[in-house]
A and B are shown apart, each in its own frame.
Chain A
Amino acid sequence: GQQLNQSPQSMFIQEGEDVSMNCTSSSIFNTWLWYKQDPGEGPVLLIALYKAGELTSNGRLTAQFGITRKDSFLNISASIPSDVGIYFCAGHQNTGNQFYFGTGTSLTVIP
């Protein structure tokens, strides 16, 4: 299947710091999604992106759809302890029915 390369694999940051993570692919996607997964829970959709170059915010979260259609970025500003979790990217191509997922970025926020 399609591989989405997500980095970094894990992050340990101080509360209040900004966070940046990204997802890259060798293939073009028409949709990029970002999810957060808390321990013992299912992934929760944070942001959906549908146009190349699109920049979308959801509170302290901002995500961008890369202009090449092969990447996407998620930024979290002024991190707080409840930001702890695993963040996943997902891509969708109009030519198929499947969503493809990155392997996740584990975020730890140190109070």
Chain B
Amino acid sequence: NAGVTQTPKFQVLKTGQSMTLQCAQDMNHEYMSWYRQDPGMGLRLIHYSVGAGITDQGEVPNGYNVSRSTTEDFPLRLLSAAPSQTSVYFCASSVDRVGEETQYFGPGTRLLVL
């Protein structure tokens, strides 16, 4: 049981490049989400999904795309990287049953955009 896995662990991009951050979970959770973490800002929600085929925007969605074709995978795409997207990105998956809500995080992807 690997929990939530993320790849890559580190990435350097040039402005304008695109890339996909991968996230997978093996806990059969319906709810998955992407956050970015910046110094002094805490965790900010980018996009989330309540199940395969369903995605929605969070607090800071601009410049990012997501899709959810399977329960297990929830990739995050940067369409045209900008220096403002330099951050640490965390994927999370959640138990969404009332009275049992918990959220588990992956190890993170550290992204530097030059």
Which A positions have Cβ atoms within 8 angstroms of B?
1, 30-31, 33, 35, 40-45, 48, 50, 88, 90, 92, 94, 97-99, 101-104
Contacts and interface: CB of A to CB of B under 8 A. Distances in A.
A100 to B, nearest CB: 9
Given A1-B45, A50-B99, A98-B58, A42 B106 contact: yes
A103 B40 contact: yes
Nearest to A48: B102
B105 A33 contact: no
Pairs of residues from A and B, 8 with the lowest C-beta to C-beta distance, nearest first: A42-B105, A103-B42, A101-B43, A31-B101, A92-B101, A43-B105, A42-B107, A1-B59
Interface in B71-106: 90, 94, 96, 98-106
Query: How many B residues are at the interface, by size bracket?
Result: 20 to 34
B interface: dominant SS: strand
Contacts of A1: 45, 59
B27 interface: no
A90 B103 contact: yes
B42 A33 contact: no
Nearest to A93: B101
Contact of B42 (A45, A50, A102): A102
Nearest to A32: B101
Contacts of B100: 50
